[in-house]
């Protein structure tokens, strides 16, 4: 069975779901320490002013805390701000109204743990994308040098500060329609929200 190791992520980029779709057994990293400035607490959407990063605020000295124990903060009313930004960016996209009712509830509650919140989002996105893959969670932490033979480790490959074109040559994103492509051209590897709202049921064919 082909096992692929993924990090927890907030509305992960298209690259993430491209690999998830192809993995026979996606394995979610549940035993690592939290890592700042990664997709674990942020995503990037396409707006009228270009790409925008949405970040989840976390509490405490997060870097020394297990990913499953990271608490989300209420600081800055981020739920309201994130949904307003998403709605503003995509309300003119072909499928925003079609999926809005499925996603708006994530921004109407006050989630407690980052890991659980992200997993709820990933499960909903897989449902909407019609990705029918059974996943598991790690029960121990595997350092990069101790990954079992045959596993694919994407935890630090799918990363906002790494060039996916260099680090992940398997992933070659083809252009698809985007709301602001006439203004900015095609913006590859944005949040999966971008693909879903712009392509709708055809998103699974793209993946």
What DSSP letter does each residue of 6-23 carry, written as one string? E---SS-BHHHHHHHHH-
Report which DSSP code applies to 24. Answer: S
For residue 104, give both structure tokens. 């708006």
> Into how many domains does the chain fold?
1
Domain encompassing residue 145? 3-206
How high is the mean pLDDT of the chain? 94
Q: Give me the mean pLDDT over the 92-114 stretch.
A: 96
The pLDDT value given to residue 75: 79
What lies within 8 Å, CB to CB, of 165 at 6+ separation is: none
The pLDDT value given to residue 185: 95
Burial 36-75 (b: 16+ CB within 10 A, else e): eebbbbbbbbbbeeeebebebebeeebeebebbebebeee
Q: For 135-170, what is each residue's pLDDT tens digit?
A: 899 999 999 999 999 999 999 999 999 998 899 999
The pLDDT value given to residue 133: 80
The pLDDT value given to residue 62: 67
What lies within 8 Å, CB to CB, of 108 at 6+ separation is: 79
CA 87/CA 157 separation, integer angstroms: 29
Q: For 75-97, what is each residue's pLDDT tens digit?
A: 789 999 999 999 999 999 999 99
The pLDDT value given to residue 188: 96
CA 125/CA 192 separation, integer angstroms: 8
Q: Give me the mean pLDDT over the 180-186 stretch.
A: 94
The pLDDT value given to residue 109: 87
18: left (phi over 0), alpha (psi -120 to 50) or beta: alpha
Helices (H), 69-113: 78-90, 96-103
Q: Give me the mean pLDDT over the 19-28 stretch.
A: 95
Per-residue pLDDT band for 179 (boundaries 50, 70, 90) equals very high
Strands annotated E in 32-173: 42-47, 50-55, 136-137, 152-153
Report which DSSP code applies to 192. Answer: H
Residue 201 pLDDT > 90:
yes
CA 160/CA 10 separation, integer angstroms: 12
Residue 63 pLDDT > 80:
no
Question: pTM, whole model, 2 decimals?
Answer: 0.96
H helix and E strand count, the chain: 8, 6
CA 194/CA 176 separation, integer angstroms: 10
Q: Give me the mean pLDDT over the 88-112 stretch.
A: 96
Residue 113 pLDDT > 90:
yes
Residue 1 pLDDT > 90:
no
Residue 203 pLDDT > 90:
yes
The pLDDT value given to residue 74: 85
The pLDDT value given to residue 186: 96
């Amino acid at each position: 069975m082909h096992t692929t190791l993924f990090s927890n992520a907030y509305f992960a980029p298209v690259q993430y779901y491209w690999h998830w779709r192809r993995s026979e057994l996606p394995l979610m990293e549940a035993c690592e320490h939290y890592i700042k400035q990664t997709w674990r607490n942020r995503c990037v959407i396409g707006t009228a002013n270009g790409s925008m990063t949405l970040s989840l605020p976390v509490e405490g000295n997060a870097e020394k805390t297990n990913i499953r124990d990271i608490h989300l903060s209420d600081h800055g009313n981020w739920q309201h701000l994130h949904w307003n930004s998403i709605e503003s960016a995509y309300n003119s996209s072909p499928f925003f109204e079609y999926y809005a009712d499925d996603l708006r509830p994530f921004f109407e509650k006050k989630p407690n743990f980052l890991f659980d919140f992200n997993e709820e989002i990933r499960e909903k996105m897989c449902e909407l994308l019609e990705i029918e893959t059974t996943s598991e969670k790690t029960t121990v932490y595997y350092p990069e040098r101790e990954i079992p033979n045959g596993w694919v480790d994407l935890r630090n490959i799918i990363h906002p500060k790494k060039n996916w074109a260099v680090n992940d040559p398997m992933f070659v994103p083809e252009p698809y329609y985007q709301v602001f492509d006439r203004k900015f051209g095609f913006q590859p590897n944005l949040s999966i929200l971008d693909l879903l709202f712009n392509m709708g049921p055809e998103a699974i064919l793209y993946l």
